[in-house]
Structure 1
Amino acid sequence: MVGCRRLILLSIFLFIVGSAVLLVIVTLFVAVLVLAASVRVDSQSFLPIDCDDVYRHDNTSSSGVYIIYPGGPTTPLHVYCDMDTNGGRWTVFQRRMDGTENFYRPWKHYKTGFGNVAGEYWLGLENIFLLTMRKKNELQVDMEDWAGGKASAQYSSFSIDSENAGYRLHFGSFTGGAAGDSLMEHNDMKFTTFDKDLDQWEHNCAQHFLGGFWYGKCHSANPNGMYAAQSAIGYSNTLNIWRTWKSQNSLKTIDMKMRSIATCTCAL
């Protein structure tokens, strides 16, 4: 009788202990799930549209390559953010610096982008369109000659239309910069490549001037033209030039960048 009672008490004790252990295990498991979910939510809560968002999230961010999401959470995009020039927060969409990248490309390459964002690259017309659709932006173009001289050109606004509209270029007033305004004749122009002629010339500006750009009849700026070392001149304006600064002399570096000036409520 005593043995049975002890056995019953032992069973009750083991049941209580087992239940407590099970409760602890379940509690820990639920806590882990909650923590994991919170981590996922936190990691997804910050999806920067552009370099302005990157800086506002962390104002100690330095210039370099970052991931942005102008097209939404499923389309991450690598980009170079300039956090140093003129207050920083610039999303660089075009950069020439050493001639390592070929910019004489077909439409599909200019649409999607090409190159290495840590070096020379073009971000892609579709990505530029998404960036300017999501926010209102200003434009800055920085350049350097072969003697080490530097200059820039700033514009009050910058946007482009969709592919259906030929990625037509729009920018506001020239607001300053020693480089002068070489973009004036390019305003309201569609983009042209050697295999898609949307310019206003009877021939193809991209074929003739060896680049892809918002050509009219044809250019006073050709940042995507042929890269030629040591301030080459001539070549029928096929070089990467900015006419109001260095006339027909090739540039050592040039980059085009945009910065948010207001958030747009436009839906994707």
Structure 2
Amino acid sequence: MLPRSTKNGFPYFQAIITPKSSKQPPQTSAILALDCSDIYSSGVNDSGVYSVSSVDGPVQVYCHMVPTGQHERGHWTVILRRMDGEVNFFRPWDSYKQGFGNKEGEHWLGLEFMHLLTRRNRYKLKVDLEDFDGTTAYALYESFSVDSEADGYKLHISGFVNGGAGDSLSYHSGMKFSTFDKDQDMWEGASCALTYNGGFWYNNCQYTNPTGLYFWGKDDGTLRIGTHWNGWKNSMKSLKSITMKIRREM
């Protein structure tokens, strides 16, 4: 077992610097690694899957490491990635709470871990989009946090910066998280999660549905159940890829 201690009330381990895509042997580095910012600060700059610490022990995360770029530079911890339809995102509350999927591919990091990360440190959120023509855009939010489960894992975002994608998320700020078995949206008529085949911070109901169905480009947007971002091109068509990632302010 790796050495364990505490800091600011958090149990932590020595970080295991082991990207699964690397051919190099595992290395153990005596650093406090709560997220990808700490992995990056240790001198590791390769994107990949790493172990970081939480109150429940080590957690696997995908780190997107970027050396240059005004809004990209540094150490992003991926909280959601859709890219090929490999993983089913129409899941119950407990799955979204704990996280699911393949960290090297499509996955959801987990609401509880998002809350633990953002309750003590300031994070920004970046949403990367790509359509089936290969065009890309992004939206940046200077502040991102998630409340506790007792508060419904309520979302808080602010400070929108337009990278060509437009703003489809501010409408969802202040909303509790909803799944098909735990309806916490603002729609009185029915369940947004059931109607739009996902789990998200639905309002009444949504301008983006990143956990919706993956259509491999065969979606005209009429049903609004795909992985769309309405602020980009004013379209409800399903995207080829959407990634949500957070970076701690050092």
Give the TM-score band, short-chain normalised: 0.7 to 0.9
Paired with 1:164 and 1:41, the residues of 2 have a C-alpha distance of: 30
Tell me what 1:78 maps to. 60
- Give the deviation of 1:234 after TM superposition: 2.8
CA distance in 1: counterparts of 2:222 and 2:179, whole angstroms: 19
CA separation in 2, counterparts of 1:213 and 1:132?
18
Local SS of the residue matching 1:172: strand
Identity score, percent: 48
Rounded to whole Å, the distance in 2 between the matches of 1:153 and 1:214 is 17
List structure 1 segments (4+ residues) > 2 angstroms apart after TM superposition: 40-45
Please list every run of 5 or more consecutive structure 2 residues that lacks an aligned counterpart in the other structure: 4-12, 16-27
Deviation at 1:61, TM superposition (A): 2.0
Match of 2:243 in 1: 255
State whether residues 146 and 231 of structure 1, in contact with CA within 8 Å, keep that contact through their aligned partners in structure 2. Answer: no
Corresponding residue number in structure 2 for 1:114: 100
- Report deviation, 1:44: 7.7
Question: Match for 2:204: what amino acid?
Answer: K
Please state how far the C-alpha of 1:231 moved relative to its aligned partner.
Answer: 5.1
SS at match of 2:166: coil
Distance 1:41 1:255, change over 3 A: closer
Alpha-carbon contact 1:145-1:231 (below 8 Å) kept = no
Gaps of 5+ in 1: 1-35, 263-268
| 1:171 aligned residue | 157
Which structure dedicates a bigger proportion of its chain to helix? 1
* Residues 49/204 of structure 1: CA separation in 2 closer, same or farther (3 Å cut): same
d(CA) in 2 for partners of 1:178 and 1:56? Answer: 30
Shift of residue 175, structure 1, vs aligned partner: 1.7
The CA deviation at 1:131 is 1.0
How far 1:214 moved relative to its partner? Answer: 0.2
- Provide the residue aligned with 1:98 in structure 2: 84
RMSD: 1.9
Once the two structures are superposed, what CA deviation does each residue of 1:110-161 show, in whole Å capped at 9, x if it has no partner?
A: 0000001000000000011111123210000001000000010000100010
Deviation for aligned residue 1:65: 0.6
Shift of 1:173: 1.6
